[in-house]
C-alpha cells in the first residue's frame, strides 16, 4: 500500500496515516511516496508511485487537488488497484471543481483504476488491520474484525458513527467514506460488502443516492444474501436537502419515494444515528424470526409495559402465551408478578436464583413466541451475572432471536454487555429501543419471506404509440382512448361537434350522461362552465350542449373548441385515485383517496412497479380510506376486486410502456361490489426533460 | 430518621439501608429500630419507634405487610412526619391486599401521618445526603445535589432511570418512588418539588394518574414556577395498559385525553427513557427561548443536515441568518463549508484555532436566532477542548439557550461533557436528540407565554334543567331544543303529529325541509326509512310524512312514534363535528371532520374546557380538514368565524353545566363565509356511573 504525499514531519497530517498503518499492525508493505523525503517513521520513502517496488494494491492519495491528476495518471500506469483521493476542491466547490472532477474520472477510467473520493477521509478494514486515511478517531480507536459494514458519504459523521458504535462494543468488517463519489459510489461500495464473506449487515449514510435505478437490484441482492441494508439518508426536509445539496453536490431525491422504495424492498430506513446502531446490533446476528410475536420477560413491570406499548407503536404483536406455558409460569412467578406476557418476575430474581432461568426457558420454548426480549432494570453483582448467564444459555438452546435491554448504566454490571455481544445478543438501554430494532428485523424478514419480489426495471426504448411527447399533455378524451386500448375500464364516451351529435351519442352511451368541453386551451373545465353533469334525456343534452359552448366562449374568448365530450355519468361509489410517476428508481404507482379528499386525506400508498395482486391488495389495505371502501354509514362495500385489478393493469402499463410519462387517474370511481370501477378522468403527460 | 426493621446481620437487606445512610454521610440521627438487636453498624438500636430519642422526621418501614399497621400506629403516636412503607402485599395483590391498604390509609389519616407507598423502595434527597430505602443502585451510586426531581411509581424502573441519568452526569434534587400511592400520590410529590427551592424540572414516571382532576392546577403551578413537568406515562396501548393495571392496581386513563391535556398545559410527554433524560438535561437549565428559530453550527455538514431535517419533523424553524451575519461568516468560513444555516465550519476548526469561536459569536449575536445548537463530530484533544471553551464563553455572553451535540464517543474528549454540564449546557449524542429536546423546551415556553391559561375546573353541582339523567339519551329534537336555549345555532324545526301539521310547520320553517322520525326506540333512523331529505313543497311533505311513518311501522313494528321532526334542510357546506366528553381531568371538547369522514379521517383536535377564541382557532388550524374549510376544487371558503364561535359556545356550556354528560354534534354544517354554521344533528347523553 502506497501513501502518496506522506511526510516525515512528526505530528503532521502527512505522517499520521503511516503511523496509523504501523500502529494497527497492517500486514502488507507500507510504501510512503514523497520526492522530498528519504523515509517516514522508518519506512523507506519513494519519489513516485512508479518507483515503488512490486505491485501496489491501494494508493492513499494525500496531495492537494492540483497535483491529484498527475498522481492518478502515475497510479494508472503502475496498475494500482484502488486510489483513495482525500483532497477537496472538486465537484463540491462549484463549476471549476466540477470540471476538475470530470477530468479525474476520465483519467481513472482511461487507466482502469478504481477511484474512491475525492473529498473523503479514507477507509478501514479491520480484517486486514488496514487503517487508510485521516480522522482524529484513528489515533484513538481499537479495531477488531467484525461483521458490520459502513458506507458513509460524509467522513466526519461516518467516523462519528463508528466511534459511537465502537463504544457500544460493535465491530466492523469495513468502513468506507465515499466522499464525492466521482467514480465509486455507495452503490458499488454496498455491493462489495454484500458479496464479501464477512459482512452480515450494511449501514449506509447518504446525502444523495447515485445510480438510484440500480438500487432495487442491489436491495434484491441483499435479500438473497440475507444481509440487510440499513439506510440513514439525510436531507429529508426542504432546508435539510438544500443544506445537503450545498454540502455534497448531490441532488437530493424525492424523500417520499425513497421511503416507499425502502419499505417495499426491505431496506431499513432510520432517521438518527442511535437508531442506526440499535438496528445494526440487531441485524448483525444471523437469526431471523418466523413472525412478529414478541415474548417479553422483565424484572420490572414498568419496563415490560413500555415494551408492550412500543410493540403496538411499531406494529408488532405481544405474543399470547400457550395455556401450558402460563400454567407452568404460574407455579414459579411470585404472586405480585405477572404471567401474562409481558411476564414480570419482579426483583425476586435477586433472591430466587432459579426464577429467571426457568421463566426464560419456558418462554423461549413457547411456540407462540417468535422473538424473546429480556428487559431487566438496575441489576448488579451476582444477580446480574446470573441473569446474563441464563440469557446466554437460553440463546444457545433456541434458534429464536433473543434481545436484551437493561434500563441501567453499564457500570452497574460491566461484564454484561461484552459477554452478551460476544454471543450475538444485542443490548439496549431501554426496552423501547429494543422493540424498535425488533421492528426492523421483522420488516426485513417479512420482505425476504414475501413473494419473489420481481425485477423492478423500467422498460427501455420509446414510449408506445399515442403516448405524449416530453412536455405534452393529452386531453382527457385522448388519454382515456389510449388507456381503454390498454384494457383499463374508462367511461363510455365520445366527442360531439354539434347538439344533434351529442344527443345521438348520449343515446348510444345510455342515460344519464355528463357533458365536458374539449379544448386544448382549457385545463380547469368546471371553473368556466365547461361541465354539466347528470343529464337524463335528449332535451337536457341539447340544451346543455349550447350552454356549455356559450359559457366557455364567453369566459375564454380565444379558446379553440374541438367539441363537447359526451360521457357516461357514473353515480355513487367511492372516489379514489391511481397515479404513475417516473422516479430515479423507476416508475412508481400510487393509490389513494381521490376527488375532493386528495388534499385533505393525503392518504396514499406508493410502490415501485410492477405490483402483483397481492401487493396491490396490500397497498389498498394500508389506506385510511379503506374504511370508505368497506362501506360507512349504511353504504355497502365497494368493488375491491375491481380496484385491485385496475391497479395491476396500471402497474403493467407502467412497467411495459417506456419513457418518462406521468399518469393521473382521478377520480377512479369504485362502484358497489360486483359493479366494477370506472376511470372518470385521466391526465397523461410526457415529463419534460429537466 | 428511623429505620424500622433494621438488621445487624451483615449483607442482609435489613442492614443495607443503614449502611447507605452512613456511607452517604446523612447528617441527621440514624435510629435503627428492631426489638431483637442491640446495635446496627455501630448505631444503637431501639426496640420500637416510641423508644427513639427526640422527634423522628422520617421513618423507613421495612417490616412485612402483616406488621405494617402496628408500626404505622406507633409512628403516628410518635408524631413521625413521613413514613415510607416498603412492603408489598397491598392493593397490587387482590381484594385482601386492597382491604389492608384501606386500613393503612385510615390509620395514617387518623394519626396525621404522611404515608409513602406501600410497595415502594424509598427515596433519595442528595441535598441532605439522605438515601432512604433499598435498591441495588444505592450500593453503587454517587449522589451529588442537583436540580432534577424524579417521581416514579415504579421502583426498579425509577432507579434504572436514575442510574442512566447519573451516568450522563445529571444530578438530582430528589428521587421518590411512590409505589401504590395509597395516601401520597405523584400529584402531592410533584407539588412538593414544584414548591421547593432547588428543583428546576420535575420528571414523572407513571402507570396511572391519581387525582387526575387536580393535575390541570398542578400544571398551571409548574408554568407559574417555571418548572417544567416531563411525563413518561406508560400503558398507552391496549396490551400495555392491561399489563400496567395488573402491575400497579391503578386504572389506566384514556391515553388520547392525557396527550391532549399535556400539550395544552405545557406538560412535556415522552415515550422513552432516553427522551426523558434528554429533555431533563435541557429543561433543568433556566434559560428560555424567545421563539423557535434554531441556529445550527456544525463541523460536519451531515450532522447539520440531520439537525435541519429534525427541526422540520419537530415543528421548529431553521433560523434565517441576517445579511450582516452571513457576510461576516462568509469572510471566515472556508469555501468548502456553508454560511447558510446550518453553518458548516468543516474540520478546518482543527487547523484554524479562531474559526469556531468567531462563528459561534456571530450566530449567538444574530437577532434571528432564538437558540443555538453546536453540533460537532469526532473532535479530540486540543481542538475538542478549544471548541468546548468557545461554547462555554459564548454561553456566558448570551442569554439564549445553547446546546451541544457531539456524534462521537465521550472517550474521545472525556473533559467535554462534565465541563459543559457544569455550565448548564446539555450534551447529546446526536443532533436529532438535541433538536427533539429543543422542541420540548420551545413547547413549554410557548404554553407559558400563551394566554393566561384559565382555570380548568369542572363545574360542581347538578346538571342544568333538561339535561339527561345518568344513562339517559335525549332525542335529537329535545337535545337541540336545550342547545338552542343555550344559544347554539341549531336547525329550525318542529315536531308534527300529522301530515297536515308537518305541511304547516314546513311553511313556517321555509323550504326545503327534511323529515325525520321521532321515536325513543329508534337510534339509526336512516336504516329504517325514517329520514327523507330535500322536500321542496307541501305535497312532497305530506307524501313523505306518510312514507316515513309507514316504513318505520313496517320495519320496527313495536316502536313508539312521537311524531315526525320537520327540519330546515341545510345544503352544501362542510360537515364537521363538535363533541364534549367528561374525563378524569374535566370536560374535554373535540372538534373534527364530521359526517361520513369521521372514521376515515380520524381528524380531531381536543382540549380541556374552557377554550377561548384564540384556542378554538388553534384547534381548527390543527385539523387536516382545514383544507376543506378553506375550500377545495372550486368551493369557496367556509364560515370559520361561525365555527369558532360555536366551539367557544359549546366550551362555555361544557365548563358551566355540571355533571357527567356527553354531547355529540355531528354533523355541524359550516356554510359559506358569512352564512354561519348549523347544528344538524345532536346527541346529549348522561354518562352512566361506572
Contact assignment for A161 to B432 by CB distance below 8 Å? no
Q: Is the pLDDT of residue B337 over 50?
A: yes
Chain A residues with CB under 8 Å of B271 CB are: 309-310, 313, 432
Question: Distance between CA atoms of B688 and B686, rounded to whole angstroms?
Answer: 6
CB contact under 8 A, B624 and A600: yes
The answer to whether the Cβ–Cβ distance between B160 and A312 falls below 8 Å is no
What's the mean pLDDT when you consider all of chain B?
92
pLDDT digits (tens, 9 = 90+) for A446-489: 999 985 556 777 777 888 889 999 888 888 899 999 999 999 99
Q: Which residue has the higher pLDDT, B626 or A595?
A: B626
Across the interface, do A596 and B88 touch by the CB < 8 Å criterion?
A: no
Please name the member of A243, A412, A527 whose beta carbon is closest to the beta carbon of B305: A243
CA separation for the pair A269, A261 (Å, rounded): 10
Q: Does residue A253 have a pLDDT over 50?
A: no
Q: Which residues are CB-contacts of B668 (< 8 A; sequence separation ≥ 6)?
A: B575, B576, B577, B578, B594, B643, B646, B677, B678, B679, B680
- Determine the distance in angstroms separating the CA of A414 from the nearest CA of chain B, rounded to an integer: 12
Task: Round to whole Å and give the CA distance between B225 and B245.
Answer: 33
Task: Assess whether pLDDT exceeds 50 at residue A246.
Answer: no
Q: Which of A160, A240, A628 sits opposite B309 (nearest CB)?
A: A240
Query: Mean pLDDT across the stretch A238-261?
Result: 64
Residue contact B381–A312, C-beta within 8 A? no
B247–A304 C-beta distance less than 8 A: yes
What is the C-alpha to C-alpha distance for residues B39 and B45, in angstroms, rounded to an integer?
4
Phi first, then psi: what are they for B350, rounded to 5°? Answer: -70, -45
Q: Is the ipTM of this complex over 0.95?
A: no
Tell me the chain B residues in contact with residue A271 when contact means C-beta distances shorter than 8 Å.
Answer: 309-310, 313, 432
pLDDT of residue B7 exceeding 90, the answer is: yes
Q: What mean pLDDT comes out for the span A355-362?
A: 96
Pick from A88, A335, A410: which is nearest to B93 by CB? A335
- B318 to chain A: closest CA residue: A239
- Cβ separation B272–A306 shorter than 8 A: yes
- Give mean pLDDT, residues B535-544: 94
With H, G, I as helix, E, B as strand and everything else as coil, classify residue B67: helix
Closest residue of chain B to A312, computed from CA coordinates: B237
* pLDDT of residue A252 exceeding 90: no
- pLDDT tens per residue across span A80-117: 999 999 998 899 888 899 999 999 999 999 999 999 99
Q: Residue B404 — pLDDT band, cuts 50, 70, 90?
A: very high
Residue B407 with chain A: CB contacts under 8 Å = 157, 160-161, 164, 273
Do residue A160 and residue B313 have CB atoms under 8 angstroms apart? no
**Cα dist from B99 to A406, A460, B69, B106, whole Å:** 35, 78, 12, 11
Residues linked to residue A85 through DSSP beta bridges, in sequence order? A61
CA distance B50 to chain A (A): 32
CA distances from B288 to B284, B315, B391, B445 (A): 11, 17, 18, 7
For testing the chain A interface, which of B140, B164, B309, B594 should be mutated: the one with the most A CBs within 10 Å? B309
In 3D space, the residue among B385, B148, B183, B459 whose CA is nearest the CA of residue B281 turns out to be B148
Q: Which helix (H) or strand (E) holds A389?
A: helix A381-397
- pLDDT value, residue B452: 52
**Residue among A161, A377, A633 minimizing CB distance to B160:** A377
Name every chain B residue with its beta carbon within 8 A of the beta carbon of A410. 167
Nearest CA in chain B to A350: B136
Q: Which of A243, A522, A634 to mutate to test the interface with B (most CBs of B within 10 A)?
A: A243
pLDDT reported for residue B378: 86
User: B308 and A380 in contact by Cβ < 8 A?
Assistant: no
What residues pair up with A294 in beta bridges, in sequence order? A318, A371
Residues 6+ apart with CB under 8 A from B463: B657, B658, B659, B661, B686
What pLDDT is stored for residue A453 in this prediction? 55
Among partner residues B303, B408, B633, which is closest to A163 by beta-carbon distance?
B408
The reported pLDDT for the residue numbered B33 is 96
All three cell numbers of A562, joined, read 374541438
Q: Cβ A599–B632 below 8 Å, yes or no? A: yes
Which residues on adjacent β-strands are paired with residue A205? A152, A232
Distance CA A75, CA A69 (A): 10
Q: Which of B122, B78, B113, B85 is nearest to B100 (CA)?
A: B85
Q: Which residues of A touch B304 (CB under 8 A)?
A: 243, 247
- Which has more confidence, A375 or A595? A375
Name every chain A residue with its beta carbon within 8 A of the beta carbon of B243: 301, 304-305, 308, 338, 340, 342, 344
What single-letter DSSP state applies at residue B377? -
Least confident range of A7-21, B284-298, B314-328, B642-656? A7-21
Kindly give, in sequence order, each residue whose CB lies less than 8 Å from that of residue A172, ignoring residues fewer than 6 positions away: A124, A126, A143, A146, A148, A149, A150, A162, A165
Peptide bond connecting B512 to the previous residue in cis, omega within 30 degrees of 0: yes
> Cell for B257?
385525553
Report d(CA A469, CA A458) in Å as an integer: 18
Residue A272: which of B92, B271, B432 has the nearest Cβ? B432
Q: What is the pLDDT of residues B381-397, one digit of tens each?
A: 889 999 999 999 999 99
Provide, for chain B, the percentages of residues in helix, strand and coil under a 3-state DSSP scheme, each rounded to the nearest 5.
40, 20, 40
Nearest to B678 by CA among B522, B498, B484: B484
H/E stretch holding A244: helix A238-248
A135 to chain B: closest CA residue: B378
Q: Number of A to B CB contacts under 8 A, please give it.
A: 307
Cβ–Cβ below 8 Å for B237 and A311: yes
pLDDT band at B483 (very low <50, low <70, confident <90, very high): very high
pTM reported for the whole predicted model: 0.93
Strand partners, A177: A152
- Between CA B337 and CA B358 the distance in angstroms is 15
Which residues lie below 8 Å from residue A338, measured CB to CB, with a gap of 6+?
A: A301, A304, A344, B243, B246, B247
Which residues are paired to A493 by β-bridges? A567
Question: Looking at beta carbons, which residues of chain A come within 8 Å of B433?
Answer: 272, 274
Yes or no, beta carbons of B207 and A301 under 8 Å apart: yes
User: So what's the pLDDT on residue A351?
Assistant: 86
Nearest CA in chain B to A603: B601
C-alpha cell at A72: 492518478
Q: How far is B79 from chain A, CA to nearest CA, in Å?
A: 32
Cα dihedral sign for B68, B73, B79, B81? Answer: positive
Closest CA to B17 of B59, B73, B65: B59
In this prediction, residue B633 has a pLDDT band, given cuts at 50, 70 and 90, of low
Over residues A361-382, mean pLDDT: 94
Q: How far is residue B147's CA from residue B32's CA, in Å, rounded to a whole number?
A: 30
Please give the residue of chain B at the shortest CA–CA distance from A119. B336
Top-confidence residue, A235 or B645: B645
Q: pLDDT tens, B227-251?
A: 999 999 998 877 766 666 544 333 3
Q: What percentage of residues in chain B have a pLDDT greater than 70?
A: 97
- B294-311 pLDDT, tens digit each: 999 999 989 999 999 999
Hey, are the CB atoms on A599 and B627 less than 8 Å from each other? yes
Which 3-state string (H, E, C) describes B438-458? Answer: HHHHHHHHHHHHCCCCCCCCC
A335 or B275: which leads in pLDDT: B275
Region B33-54: mean pLDDT is 95
Residue B286 predicted with pLDDT over 90: yes
* Residue among B62, B75, B61 at smallest CA distance from B107: B75
- pLDDT tier at B12, thresholds 50, 70, 90: confident
Q: Write the CA distances from B523 to A477, B495, B497, B567, integer angstroms.
A: 47, 17, 19, 18
- Give just the sign of the alpha carbon dihedral B175, B179, B180, B182: negative
Beta bridge partners of B43: B40
pLDDT of residue B596 exceeding 80? no
Sequence-distant (6+) residues with CB within 8 A of A550 are none
pLDDT at B213: 92
CA distance B483 to chain A (A): 25
Amino acid at each position: 500500500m502506497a501513501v502518496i504525499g506522506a511526510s516525515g514531519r512528526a505530528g503532521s497530517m502527512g505522517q499520521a496515516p503511516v503511523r496509523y498503518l504501523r500502529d494497527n499492525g497492517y500486514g502488507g508493505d507500507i510504501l510512503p511516496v514523497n520526492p522530498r523525503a528519504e523515509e517516514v517513521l522508518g519506512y523507506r520513502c519513494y519519489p513516485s508511485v512508479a518507483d515503488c517496488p512490486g505491485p501496489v494494491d491501494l494508493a492513499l492519495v494525500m496531495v492537494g487537488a492540483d497535483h491529484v491528476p498527475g498522481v492518478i495518471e502515475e497510479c494508472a500506469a503502475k496498475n494500482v488497484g484502488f486510489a483513495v483521493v482525500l483532497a477537496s476542491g472538486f465537484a463540491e466547490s462549484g463549476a471549476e471543481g466540477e470540471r476538475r472532477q470530470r477530468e479525474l474520472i476520465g483519467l481513472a477510467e482511461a487507466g482502469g483504476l478504481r477511484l474512491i473520493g475525492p473529498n473523503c477521509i479514507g477507509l478501514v478494514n479491520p480484517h486486514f488491520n488496514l487503517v487508510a486515511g485521516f480522522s482524529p478517531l484513528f489515533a484513538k480507536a481499537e479495531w477488531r474484525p467484525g461483521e458490520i459494514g459502513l458506507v458513509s458519504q460524509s467522513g466526519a459523521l461516518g467516523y462519528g458513527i463508528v466511534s459511537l458504535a465502537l463504544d457500544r462494543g460493535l465491530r466492523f468488517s469495513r468502513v468506507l467514506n465515499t466522499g464525492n463519489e466521482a467514480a465509486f459510489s455507495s452503490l458499488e461500495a454496498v455491493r462489495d460488502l454484500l458479496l464479501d464473506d464477512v459482512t452480515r449487515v450494511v449501514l449506509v449514510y447518504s446525502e444523495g443516492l447515485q445510480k438510484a435505478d440500480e438500487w432495487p437490484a442491489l436491495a434484491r441482492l441483499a435479500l438473497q444474501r440475507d444481509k440487510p441494508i440499513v439506510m440513514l439518508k439525510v436531507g429529508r426536509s426542504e432546508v435539510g436537502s438544500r443544506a445537503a445539496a450545498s454540502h455534497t453536490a448531490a441532488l437530493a431525491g424525492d424523500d417520499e419515494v425513497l421511503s416507499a422504495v425502502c419499505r417495499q424492498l426491505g431496506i431499513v430506513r432510520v432517521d438518527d444515528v442511535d437508531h442506526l446502531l440499535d438496528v445494526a446490533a440487531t441485524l448483525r446476528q444471523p437469526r431471523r424470526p418466523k413472525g412478529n410475536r414478541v415474548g417479553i420477560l422483565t424484572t420490572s413491570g414498568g419496563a415490560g409495559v413500555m415494551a408492550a406499548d412500543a410493540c403496538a407503536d411499531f406494529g408488532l404483536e405481544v405474543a399470547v402465551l400457550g395455556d401450558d406455558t402460563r400454567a407452568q409460569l404460574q407455579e414459579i412467578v411470585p404472586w405480585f408478578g405477572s404471567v401474562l406476557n409481558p411476564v414480570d418476575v419482579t426483583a425476586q430474581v435477586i433472591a430466587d436464583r432459579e426464577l429467571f432461568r426457568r421463566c426464560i426457558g419456558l418462554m423461549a420454548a413457547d411456540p407462540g413466541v417468535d422473538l424473546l426480549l429480556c428487559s431487566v432494570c438496575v441489576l448488579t453483582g451476582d444477580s446480574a451475572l446470573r441473569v446474563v448467564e441464563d440469557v446466554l444459555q437460553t440463546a444457545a438452546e433456541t434458534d429464536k432471536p433473543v434481545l436484551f435491554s437493561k434500563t441501567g448504566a453499564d457500570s452497574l454490571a460491566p461484564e454484561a454487555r461484552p459477554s452478551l455481544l460476544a454471543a450475538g445478543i444485542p443490548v439496549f438501554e431501554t426496552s423501547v429501543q429494543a422493540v424498535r430494532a425488533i421492528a426492523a428485523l421483522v420488516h426485513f424478514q417479512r420482505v425476504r419471506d414475501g413473494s419473489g419480489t420481481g425485477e423492478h426495471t423500467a422498460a427501455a426504448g420509446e414510449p408506445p404509440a399515442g403516448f405524449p411527447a416530453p412536455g405534452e399533455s393529452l386531453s382527457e378524451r385522448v388519454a382515456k382512448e389510449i388507456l381503454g386500448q390498454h384494457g383499463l375500464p374508462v367511461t363510455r364516451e365520445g366527442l360531439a361537434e354539434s347538439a344533434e351529435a351529442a344527443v345521438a351519442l348520449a343515446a348510444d352511451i345510455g342515460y344519464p350522461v355528463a357533458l365536458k368541453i374539449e379544448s386544448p386551451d382549457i385545463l380547469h373545465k368546471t371553473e368556466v362552465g365547461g361541465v354539466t353533469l347528470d343529464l337524463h334525456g335528449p332535451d337536457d343534452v341539447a340544451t346543455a350542449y349550447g350552454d356549455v359552448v356559450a359559457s366557455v366562449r364567453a369566459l375564454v374568448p380565444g379558446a379553440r373548441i374541438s367539441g363537447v365530450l359526451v360521457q357516461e355519468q357514473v353515480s355513487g361509489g367511492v372516489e379514489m385515485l391511481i397515479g404513475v410517476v417516473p422516479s430515479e428508481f423507476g416508475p412508481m404507482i400510487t393509490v389513494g383517496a381521490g376527488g375532493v379528499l386528495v388534499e385533505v386525506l393525503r392518504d396514499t400508498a406508493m410502490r415501485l412497479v410492477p405490483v402483483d395482486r397481492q401487493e396491490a391488495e396490500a397497498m389498498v389495505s394500508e389506506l385510511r380510506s379503506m374504511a370508505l371502501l368497506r362501506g360507512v354509514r349504511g353504504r355497502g362495500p365497494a368493488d375491491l376486486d375491481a380496484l385491485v385489478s385496475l391497479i395491476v393493469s396500471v402497474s403493467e402499463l407502467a412497467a411495459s410502456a417506456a419513457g418518462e410519462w406521468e399518469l393521473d387517474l382521478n377520480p377512479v370511481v369504485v362502484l358497489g361490489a360486483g359493479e366494477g370501477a370506472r376511470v372518470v378522468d385521466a391526465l397523461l403527460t410526457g415529463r419534460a426533460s429537466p
